[in-house]
Amino acid sequence: MGVWKNRTLLVGILGVLLLCHMDQEAGASSFKDVPAQGMVTMVDLGAKACIPCKMMTPILEKLEKSYKGKAAIIFIDVWKHRDQAKKFGIRAIPTQIFYDKDGKEIYRHVGFMSEAAIITQLQKMGVD
């Protein structure tokens, strides 16, 4: 049990360190429409080079198509958009944040999140 606890701590620390040393694109990024107004929104904050984030890419692409018009599925690369990591209070990546139709944060998860877990959360929020 202690080994897993130490690994979890290490992953969290590495995530924070990576956020501290990431490159920022030129110019300030703008995500004014996040979360999407009037629609349940899942925001996945990660990075294209992060292994768990890479594992989630095909899941997010599939869900984005499946839930088009029903829920917004948004990915933000916080290595390219550092200001968004701060804006959303990200301490480790990937982090998924679920918002209701009014833009209120309902649920937050840190780490890899399976397709089934995402679908379950969306269903809890009334999205079919």
Query: Which residues carry out catalysis?
Result: 50, 53
- Domain of 99: which CATH number? 3.40.30.10
Task: Region of 2 please: left (phi>0), alpha (psi -120 to 50) or beta.
Answer: alpha
Rounded alpha-carbon distances, angstroms, from residue 86 to 20, 39, 45, 62, 126: 11, 23, 11, 28, 29
Q: What is the pLDDT of residues 113-127, one digit of tens each?
A: 999 999 999 999 999
Give the count of domains, the chain: 1
Q: Is pLDDT above 80 for 31?
A: yes
pLDDT digits (tens, 9 = 90+) for 38-76: 999 999 999 999 999 999 999 999 999 999 999 999 999
pLDDT at 13: 40
Supply the range of the domain harboring residue 56: 2-124
What is residue 5's predicted lDDT score, i.e. its pLDDT?
Answer: 52
